Amino acid sequence: MSGKKSSTWIIVIVLLAVTAAGVFLINLSSKKKKEAAGGPGGFGGFGGGRGQQTATAVRTTVAKNQTITDFVLTNGEIETQKSIEVFPSIGGKVVDMKVSLGSPVKAGDVIAYIDPSEPGSYYAKSPVTAPIDGSIITSPVKIGQKVNMSSVITKIGDINNLQITAKVPERYVADIAIGQKAEITLQAYGEEKFMASVVRISPVVDPSTRTKEIILNFDKHYDKVNAGMFARVKLFTVDFGGYPVIQQDAFVENSDEYYLYIVKDDSTVTKRKVTRGKSIDGYNQVVEGLSAGEVVVLEGMLSLYEGAKVRDISGNVEFVEAAPPADKGGEKGPKPEGKK
């Protein structure tokens, strides 16, 4: 009987020892997880929980009052500012051609000679002269070709002074004005930009295309630009200023309302409702809720919340670490020298 009691006690003691060991291991594992998450003894003194949360890396921008300019995109043709077709003063056969494509000419220079003679009658050759200075911009007629007074011998143009003829849709005509600037891009030169200005605006809207024609002159001579090229025109129209301007990607939308995350001096963020103004080319005015000089999160806001700790990798805000926990009577430090 006493042997059975001894066996029972041994089993009880073993079970208690196993339970205690299990509890110890569970507590030890929990402690290590807390330390790994940035708790007491963790990295940098900022970690798990909202009290000591991990800082989220973000990119920011400083809000500044800026002017953004609206624009109209259209197409155009590059032409000479001054050009003229040349006609003969008499019909006949072209017997001499003094110029070729690209030849420079002066007003009064002989371009060609026409022989008006017919079988049985002979006449002096008739010269065809250039009416203006410029260059031959279309291929002249060939020697031996028959022409009359309505035949175009060639075309002369001023290739050193070019213009762009473009058409603006009717809905934008109220925004266009003489002197407005434009960026011209050409297929041959990729994204390279050539500047031009509006010099003439048609007084009427074309009823067939519902567009108004505008003429732009290049701001300076560009050797790369040739008459006949197709132009892509970005015409700048109306300026909008007086408010901070922020990239569109920074805004968080919720039920048709817009928010920005603002970085505070203690490296935490606040989620603030704002009102947007004019939106142009990926940038938005902020007409309410943001002041110039405030720091706005541009990237990394998807993991943020009110009061979240952030580390600004853009360098606009110096990171402020969380204050260490107050001393609650733990181990005391060494005494100052001279005191015992």
Strand partners, 79: 163
What is the Cα 79 distance to its own chain's centre? 29
Mark which of 95, 130, 157 sits at the end of a domain: 157
CA angle 319, 324, 327 (to 5 degrees): 165
pLDDT at 36: 46
Q: Are residues 114 and 260 in the same domain?
A: no
Mark which of 157, 190, 222 sits at the end of a domain: 157
Q: Are residues 107 and 205 in the same domain?
A: no
pLDDT at 29: 59
Where residue 137 sits, what CATH number does that domain have? 2.40.50.100
DSSP string of 221-266, one letter each residue:
--TT--TT-EEEEEEEEEEEEEEEEEEGGG-EEETTEEEEEEEPTT
Please report whether residue 330 resides in a domain: no
Q: Are residues 195 and 302 in the same domain?
A: no
Percent helix, percent strand, percent coil in the chain, to nearest 5: 15, 40, 40
pLDDT at 233: 97
Q: How many residues does the chain have?
A: 340
pLDDT at 22: 65
Residue type (1 letter), 31: K
pLDDT at 225: 94
Where residue 281 sits, what CATH number does that domain have? 2.40.420.20
Which residue ranges in the chain fall short of pLDDT 50? Answer: 33-49, 51, 329-340
pLDDT at 331: 45
Helix (H/G/I), strand (E/B), else coil: 188: helix
Strand partners, 240: 68
**Distance in angstroms (rounded) separating the CA atoms of residues 188 and 166:** 19
Please report whether residue 208 resides in a domain: yes
Tell me which residue range forms the domain holding 206.
71-79+161-240
CA-CA-CA-CA torsion for 219, 222, 227, 231, nearest 10 degrees? -70
Please report whether residue 3 resides in a domain: no
Strands 56-62, 310-312: pairing is parallel
What's the token pair of residue 304?
């943020």
CA-CA-CA-CA torsion for 20, 21, 25, 31, nearest 10 degrees? 40
Q: Are residues 179 and 294 in the same domain?
A: no
pLDDT at 40: 40
Question: How many domains does the chain divide into?
Answer: 3
Please report whether residue 261 resides in a domain: yes
